[in-house]
Amino acid sequence: MPARSIIYVDGFNFYYGAVRGSSHKWLNLALCFRHLRPHDQIQRIHYFTAIVDGETRTNQEIYLRALATTPEVNVILGKFKFKERKCQVTSCTFNGSRTFVMPEEKRTDVNIAVQLLRDIYHDNADRFIVVSGDSDLVPALNLAKSEAPEKKIIVYVPSRNPTRGAAVELRSAADRNRTFPLRLLSVSQFPSALPDGQGGFIHKPAGW
């Protein structure tokens, strides 16, 4: 009998590690993870992200609508909080204010941890697959392993950069770890136009 699995995708970590700079942004996550785990019985794919502000927001919202057409995928939203930062570049010669405001994504790590532990507590799967390279998830993985040692936690680190892809702490906290195979991106794309379920179509954003 195929092992039941649940997949947890750290959206921004996945985007910046694997998708950004490619021509494969129109990614069908359900198809992608069926390619990745062909022998698993995938119960759910939780995709954790936050709505961006600015010119790319429209494209992101179109993509989230596309994901909503795949029943396996559950989008869980965090949010951005704006934090004041001070320039630390000692060689900077700018005479104006050295303070600036930057958006910081909040809640994703906590949302992943809560969902993972909830799924383990309710025995919703046998394998728990985390797609991220973020070491902030290490305590959650350690707790999951101590509370349910019979469950298997597998980490896939999304990275085109070997240094970023090291993710030693997170890899060490898992039962097994791999680098996410980038070849799956090109074979897991949505069609350019897909039915929205309401008689219309969702179109791939220009430039994607």
Residue-range domains of the chain with CATH: 4-84+96-196 (3.40.50.1010)
Supply the pLDDT for residue 103. 43
Average pLDDT, the chain: 91
d(CA 62, CA 27): 12
pLDDT score, position 101? 41
pTM: 0.87
Q: Burial, 124: exposed, middle or buried (Cβ in 10 Å; 0-12, 13-18, 19+)? A: middle
* Count of C-beta atoms within a 10 Å radius of residue 159: 20
Measured between alpha carbons, how far is 190 from 31 in angstroms, rounded to an integer?
9
Above pLDDT 90, what percent of the chain?
80
Q: Residue 107: its pLDDT value, please?
A: 82
* Per-residue pLDDT reduced to its tens digit, 92-133: 666 665 554 444 565 899 999 999 999 999 999 999 999 999
* Separation CA 154–CA 23 (nearest Å): 27
Residue 203 token pair: 């179109």
Tell me the per-residue pLDDT of 30-67, one tens digit each, with 9 for 90 and over. 999 999 999 999 999 999 999 998 889 999 999 999 99
Q: Which residue has the tokens 């996550």?
A: 29
Say if strands 193-195 and 201-203 run parallel, antiparallel, or are unpaired: antiparallel
Q: CA–CA distance from 197 to each of 68, 107, 174 (Å)?
A: 10, 30, 38
